[in-house]
Structure 1
Amino acid sequence: MSWLWRVPRTIPQSQLPRLRPLTWTRSASRIRAHIPPPFPIIETCPSPTCACRPMPSGLDIDVEHSINGLMAPYAEQVLISTGKDDWTSKIEEDEVSVMARGLKDLLGRGGKFSDPYHNVMITNSSFESPHQLSSNKGSVFLLPSFRYLPDIPLKPEGLEQMVKAFVLPTQLHQMHSVLPEQQKQNLLRDTALQDQFKGSRPVQEVLVLICGHGGRDSRCGTMGPLFRSEFEEKLTMQGFEVLQGAVGSLGFGGASEKPTARVGLISHIGGHKFAGNVIIYVPPSFPENPLAGSGIWYGRVRPEHVEGIVASTILQGKVIKELYRGGIAQEGKLLLL
């Protein structure tokens, strides 16, 4: 009989002693040690206790295949504030996407900062920028770094400085060890540049991001606005202040001391056939939540799931297994079941 220790690469060795005890499962030819994930899990979403919006009919949703792990790995999501609810199929071709075009030129294949071991996801959002579309500045959320930058110059040199200051890795993958020293330095973050970006702040509000990219797929275009209203309603019922309007320099948008949240539509993140697709970022400022500092990806979300997601995941830090596509923690660590 052979014994196989199965240690996910995403769990640092230093964390193993603090994990829950191993459980053993028998397969046809061997016994495996199963290490539970470092966050609490519930199998299914709790049933709603109040009315919810009806699910649109006639949508071709894949309910057969497993969605666990169907999330493209990424080190950082750059979430661009556009103030629009929808975009052209390729966001870099949209009229409001000066920043998306510039960032893809820098970070995409063949770009100055292209790094196959540090994938950066560039996404448009419906969040309103404090700047007009005709302005020469833009704003972004950086996740899961949980940083908001309100004043980014849209000229190529401004975008390059932002990428160098906040987006590039602080440590290169070992495969880059063969590169010349100057090239390695070019691919590393330079934190000294961060002082140039005034108004930068930590993100203290929960972010609920819903794929609503109708210009790419009608399923998400149909379900996105519905889920935005549903999440805003259920968050309010659970005592959150749902922030509206242009994103400013402050994490808490009102005079109350309620926990805060923003709900927005975003462009394509993959897996339209698993709509509704939702990413929930729980900020580090929620220290009692086991998912603080993480982003949780859910698929096949229906309106009747929203109340349970708010109560279980956002408030209690529990991952709902039946909806789970994947997750990411700070420094790009994947969260696997």
Structure 2
Amino acid sequence: MSTVFRNKMIDNCCSSVQSSLSPPILSAEKSTTENVYNRKMSISSLNTSPSNNTSINPSPSNSFASLSSKSSTTSLKEPKKSTATISIEEITSENPCLTCQSPCSIHPSYPSNLKINHEANLGGTVQPHARHIIISTGKSDWNKVIELDSGNLSAVLYEYLQKKRDNKDTKILITNSNRQNSTLPFLTFFSFFGNDILIYPDNLIVRNVSTGKVEEFYDQFLSNEINKKEIVKNEGYNFSTERIPYKAVILICGHKRRDMRCGVAGPILKNEFEKVLKEKRMDLNSMGNQGVPVYLTSHVGGHQFAGNVIVYRNGQGIWYGRVTPCHIQMIINKTVIEGKIIKELHRGSMFDDKNGQSTLDW
């Protein structure tokens, strides 16, 4: 499909909905953004996105079946045994409104001197890992290496894992997130009170995990074989657990102390994801725990491919790279709702086999 023809399709399709989108960024505004970035804006000013309070609230009565922009009866589709893939060209042919003109005058753009690797092949750039541990910290400004952040839950857990791990080939990925605790969120910053931990692929929230309970946490939730359908619930442990209630979870690397590329791209993507989810009434405010939260996380690998996005939904863990605000609509419609993998953005998944196919069965 030629670029001229593609842009004409997008113009015809989207001219009627321009008023509902964010206003174009003026060239002066872009120039200002780049100048600020070139002057090495302070760390605190880079993270313009507020903390996301995700306290567990009763779900509203409106159904998640109204999420699709095409039909009021479309809901999150269950993934098939082999996950379907789709190209950006195919998405444009199906619905030009899900893609943008090149260059785009609607969405915010990254500073021009943000060095993103556009040459390397994205496929196979995810380090294989058996579990993903996501710690709720209530903030997005973490030290450069969270595993060495003495006294914090991430460091204590990482140290214990190094001692206990029998199979060196089995890796557990630990990341911090700006998610707040479901109960007593004002205490999220103080890890000695205990933090919520999200565990994939087990699809669990474990509460009240403090630095002093790391050994118990490991024994109950991490020492089991990864393919077990149910975590054995031993008695005598001081944790509250529940299945992760969200229809999907979107994670975005925003670890600015580790790499400025994700530090810049992360908050921009988070704001855009939240805006589109709100428009579609898929956010937590609209849907309660049946909605889709968006969290900034610490280092997940591949900063050269910023923005880095992970989508967990219905037993899928899909990693994307080189994501820009222009990709948000198609990720939500094609990946979050339909469960399809966008070829050009796909980095990989947990337990990818040699053919790049996920072998997880959650």
**TM over 0.5, yes or no?**
yes
Q: Does 1:213 align with 2:255?
A: yes
Q: For residues 324 and 164 of structure 1, do their structure 2 counterparts lie closer, same or farther at Cα, with a shift above 3 Å needed?
A: same
> Per residue, is there more strand in 1 or in 2?
1
How many residues end up aligned between the 2 structures? Answer: 258
Match of 1:79, SS state, is strand
- Determine the structure 1 residue equivalent to 2:83: 39
Matches of 2:318 and 2:349 in 1, distance apart?
4
Q: How does 1:2-41 map to 2 (within 5 A)?
A: 38-41=82-85
- 1:132 Cα deviation from its structure 2 partner: 4.1
- 1:262 Cα deviation from its structure 2 partner: 1.1
1:151 to 195, 202, 208: 208
1:294 to 291, 316, 319: 316
1:196 to 237, 254, 267: 237
1:313 to 317, 330, 335: 335
Matches of 1:101 and 1:258 in 2, distance apart?
29
- Determine the structure 2 residue equivalent to 1:133: 189
- 1:143 Cα deviation from its structure 2 partner: 1.1
- 1:170 Cα deviation from its structure 2 partner: 2.1
1:336 to 339, 344, 356: 356
2:160 to 100, 106, 118: 106
Matches of 1:269 and 1:194 in 2, distance apart?
33
Q: Does 1:118 align with 2:170?
A: yes
- Determine the structure 2 residue equivalent to 1:78: 133
Q: For residues 258 and 121 of structure 1, do their structure 2 counterparts lie closer, same or farther at Cα, with a shift above 3 Å needed?
A: closer
> Per residue, is there more helix in 1 or in 2?
2
- Check the 8 A contact 2:137/2:188 in 1, yes or no: no
Q: For residues 260 and 194 of structure 1, do their structure 2 counterparts lie closer, same or farther at Cα, with a shift above 3 Å needed?
A: farther
Matches of 2:235 and 2:225 in 1, distance apart?
13
Q: Does 1:225 align with 2:267?
A: yes
Q: For residues 274 and 333 of structure 1, do their structure 2 counterparts lie closer, same or farther at Cα, with a shift above 3 Å needed?
A: closer
- Check the 8 A contact 1:161/1:193 in 2, yes or no: no
Q: How does 1:225-244 map to 2 (within 5 A)?
A: 225-242=267-284
Which sections of structure 2, spanning at least 5 residues, go unmatched? 1-79, 101-105, 358-362
- Check the 8 A contact 1:48/1:304 in 2, yes or no: no
Q: For residues 306 and 195 of structure 1, do their structure 2 counterparts lie closer, same or farther at Cα, with a shift above 3 Å needed?
A: farther
Matches of 2:238 and 2:130 in 1, distance apart?
21
- Check the 8 A contact 2:157/2:211 in 1, yes or no: no
Give the share of equivalent positions with the same residue, in percent: 31
- 1:101 Cα deviation from its structure 2 partner: 1.2
Q: For residues 218 and 171 of structure 1, do their structure 2 counterparts lie closer, same or farther at Cα, with a shift above 3 Å needed?
A: closer
Matches of 2:215 and 2:167 in 1, distance apart?
15
- 1:294 Cα deviation from its structure 2 partner: 1.4
Matches of 1:98 and 1:271 in 2, distance apart?
24
- Check the 8 A contact 2:250/2:294 in 1, yes or no: yes
Deviations 1:240-289 (A, max 9, x none): 0235xxxxxxxxxx7x578411111111111111000000110xxxxxxx
Match of 1:105, SS state, is helix
Matches of 2:195 and 2:326 in 1, distance apart?
36
Matches of 1:107 and 1:299 in 2, distance apart?
28
- Check the 8 A contact 2:153/2:210 in 1, yes or no: no
Q: For residues 48 and 63 of structure 1, do their structure 2 counterparts lie closer, same or farther at Cα, with a shift above 3 Å needed?
A: farther
